[in-house]
Amino acid sequence: MMTDAHARKAVVLLSGGLDSTTCLAIARDAGYTCYGLSFDYGQRHRSELASAESLAAAAGLAGYKVIPVDMRGIGGSALTDDAIAVPEEASEGIPVTYVPARNTVFLAYALGWAEVLSAEAIFIGVNALDYSGYPDCRPAFIEAFQAMANLATKQGVEGNTISIKTPLIHLTKAEIIAKGSALGVDYSKTVSCYQADDQGRACGRCDSCRLRRKGFTDAGIADPTVYA
């Protein structure tokens, strides 16, 4: 797909889940020429990557990359270490599904590609309301990464800041779903479950499934999720 060299470009982090897919729809609606970026990081829920690739193809993005990052090499999360079970009950504190430094790593790659593309924005679907309590989803983290990005890049030093866009950060899951639905997002093609099977069918019990199901209920929209 050919694009205007002077178009507003954005790198969109695309996981295949509900939030990142909504983020992509928002970026496109805002007039950005979008480049999708996904990561094969050794995640337990491999079907989310297949979903991301399918969604990227359907969106007709200006560019799309899947970057291999071996986060299984350090483990420390139920999503990257098969010896750690995905919890199916709500718990206090930061859950074991937190992947150490994941958003820091992902945003670093996105920042690099954004500079190569001369893009002006990076979109990431982090949320600080209906979420699992991950530290790298908070506004303070995004603000700190933005400050670092301004210092770490040629564009930033020259005054052409690459903005980290977080349009979902202060929305409830229901508000996110309502927003995406208004923009035509087909949520049946997204995978949120931390232990989805190879066909993308959700367990219905993990933290991500509970938040997703509650979001559809609160939004008054039928849940299109396929459960195992």
Q: What is the structure's pLDDT at 6? A: 58
Q: Is the dihedral of CA 42, 44, 48, 50 positive or negative?
A: positive
Does the pLDDT of residue 2 top 50, yes or no? no
Q: pLDDT of 3-54, one tens digit each? A: 444 589 999 999 999 999 999 999 999 999 999 999 999 999 899 999 999 9
What is the C-alpha to C-alpha distance for residues 19 and 150, in angstroms, rounded to an integer?
A: 26
pLDDT (0 to 100) of residue 58: 95
At 176-226, the pLDDT tens digits run 999 999 999 999 999 999 999 999 999 999 999 999 999 999 999 999 999
Which tokens belong to 210?
């509970």
Q: Is domain 9-219 given the CATH code 3.40.50.620 in the classification?
A: yes
User: Residue 36 carries which DSSP code?
Assistant: E
* Three-state SS sequence of 185-210: CCHHHCCCCCCCCCCCCECCCCHHHH
pLDDT digits (tens, 9 = 90+) for 84-99: 999 998 878 999 999 9
pLDDT score, position 131: 77
Alpha-carbon span 223 to 216, nearest angstrom = 6
Q: What is the pLDDT of residue 222?
A: 97
Average pLDDT, rounded, for the chain: 94
User: What's the confidence (pLDDT) of residue 3?
Assistant: 42
Distance of CA 226 to the CA centre of its chain: 20
Question: Does the pLDDT at position 1 exceed 80?
Answer: no
How high is the pLDDT of residue 57? 96
**Does pLDDT of 130 surpass 90?**
no
Backbone angles phi and psi of 6, in degrees to 5: -100, 5
The pTM score is 0.95
**Domain boundaries defined on the chain:** 9-219
Contacting residues for 121 by C-beta, under 8 A, at least 6 apart: 8, 9, 10, 11, 27, 32, 114, 162, 163, 164, 165
Mean pLDDT of the 158-163 span: 96
From CA 17, how far away is CA 38, in angstroms rounded? 11
Whether the predicted pLDDT of 79 surpasses 80: yes
